[in-house]
Amino acid sequence: MKKVNPLYEGKAKILWETDDPALMVQEFKNDATAFDGTKHEVIEGKGRLNNTISSHLFGLLNEKGIRTHFREKISETEMVVERLEMLPVEVVVRNVAAGSLVRRLGIEKGATFDPPIVEFYLKDDSLHDPILSEEHIRVMGLATPEQVTGLKNAALAVNETLGSFLLERNMRLVDFKLEFGTVGGELVLGDEISPDTCRFHDAKTGEIMDKDRFRQDLGGFLEAYNEVLSRVSS
Ligand code: ADP
Ligand code: UDP
């Protein structure tokens, strides 16, 4: 398998076409962005950390029988993935109230949800990723009702597997965002699973170990990502 052309460059990653039409190389950049890209910094070492953390977590999900695009980590900042037809929908699972949920609904920060909440957002920066109901998904033709059920079930299965794995390593999985695609009609988890796309808190101290350190200018960004890596690889 050989990397050929960059197909798409986003805010955090570059997707490369390869000489195998079924496979792509997903390269993690050092760019950190927040608030629809209005806050932007280059943080040396971030690409390596997110690629390594994501590879570990996708490897775990693959082992547990959850269908993901991840094949293998091939360098510090690159992984081989299956090429998917992405659904323009972000799936968010929340175990604990934080972020936009608190801002939008006034729910008390730290409130817990059991069963967890599953939400859908439209992946469209120009519209600021608005929240979607299942009816919106249906009328906009973003996914079939069967796919919506599949997305929810897969997201909850990821939550179960990841939540207990992280708790064993003294981390609380507060919330996270997933992106799915299809290959041959099958729903497959794509994109990344990292402290950029999840909220991880130290289970004992509540210390923030994710991109909120960048969003809120808390400092200690690389230290927190390094600590996540050391815990997920233990
Ligand atoms: P953004 O587009 O939000 O700026 P990124 O920099 O993370 O995001 O770019 C990665 C892009 O690649 C996203 O649009 C994501 O949906 C897409 N993607 C992730 N995994 C796959 C895959 N396996 N096949 C095709 N596209 C993928
Ligand atoms: N998230 C993400 N990309 C997005 C929006 C959200 O990875 O475009 C993640 C975010 O890191 C958090 C979860 O999804 O783990 C829920 O985010 P929320 O809706 O609270 O939004 P935010 O506080 O990031 O504005």
The pLDDT assigned to 88 comes to 98
Mean pLDDT over the full length of the chain: 98
The pLDDT assigned to 163 comes to 98
Tell how far the Cα of 191 is from the centroid of ligand 1, in angstroms: 5
- pTM comes to 0.98
Per residue in 62-105, pLDDT tens?
A: 999 999 999 999 999 999 999 999 999 999 999 999 999 999 99
The pLDDT assigned to 170 comes to 98
Q: Measured between alpha carbons, how far is residue 38 from residues 12, 41, 77, 215, 216 in Å?
A: 14, 10, 24, 11, 14
Domain range summary for the chain, segments of one domain joined by +: 3-82, 85-219
Nearest CA to ligand 1 atom 2: 10
Reading the block at residue 210, the tokens are 């994710």
Task: Verify whether ligand 2 is closer than 6 Å to residue 192 (CB atom).
Answer: no
Q: Which of 15, 69, 180, 183 to mutate to test the pocket of ligand 1 (most atoms within 8 A of CB)?
A: 15
Q: Which atom of ligand 2 is nearest to the CA of 176?
A: 15
Domain 3-82, classified CATH 3.30.200.20, yes or no: yes
Per residue in 170-193, pLDDT tens?
A: 999 999 999 999 999 999 999 999
Nearest CA to ligand 1 atom 6: 10
The answer to whether 3-82 and 85-219 have equal CATH topology is no
Taking CB atoms and a 6 Å cutoff, what residues make up the pocket around ligand 1? Answer: 8, 10-13, 15, 24, 69, 81-84, 86, 179, 181, 190-191
Tell how far the Cα of 176 is from the centroid of ligand 2, in angstroms: 7
User: Percent of the chain beyond pLDDT 70?
Assistant: 100
Ligand nearest to the CA of 177: 2
The pLDDT assigned to 26 comes to 98
Nearest CA to ligand 1 atom 5: 10
Exposure string of 186-205, with b = 16+ CB inside 10 Å and e = fewer, is ebbbbbbbbbbbbbbbeeee
CA–CA gap between residue 9 and residue 18 (Å, rounded): 15
Tell how far the Cα of 7 is from the centroid of ligand 1, in angstroms: 10
* Mean pLDDT computed over 43-72: 98
Task: Verify whether ligand 2 is closer than 6 Å to residue 30 (CB atom).
Answer: no
* Mean pLDDT computed over 33-48: 96
User: Percent of the chain beyond pLDDT 90?
Assistant: 99
* Mean pLDDT computed over 41-61: 98
Half-sphere exposure of 101 (CA within 13 A, CB side): 22
Tell how far the Cα of 232 is from the centroid of ligand 1, in angstroms: 23
CATH topology for 85-219?
Answer: D-amino Acid Aminotransferase; Chain A, domain 1 (3.30.470)
Q: Which of 26-30, 35-39, 109-113, 153-157 has the lowest mean pLDDT?
A: 35-39
Exposure string of 105-143, with b = 16+ CB inside 10 Å and e = fewer, is eeeeeeeeeeebebbbbbbeeeeebeebeeeebeeeebb
Tell how far the Cα of 197 is from the centroid of ligand 2, in angstroms: 6
The pLDDT assigned to 10 comes to 95
Per residue in 188-218, pLDDT tens?
A: 999 999 999 999 999 999 999 999 999 999 9
The pLDDT assigned to 160 comes to 98
pLDDT band at 132 (very low <50, low <70, confident <90, very high): very high
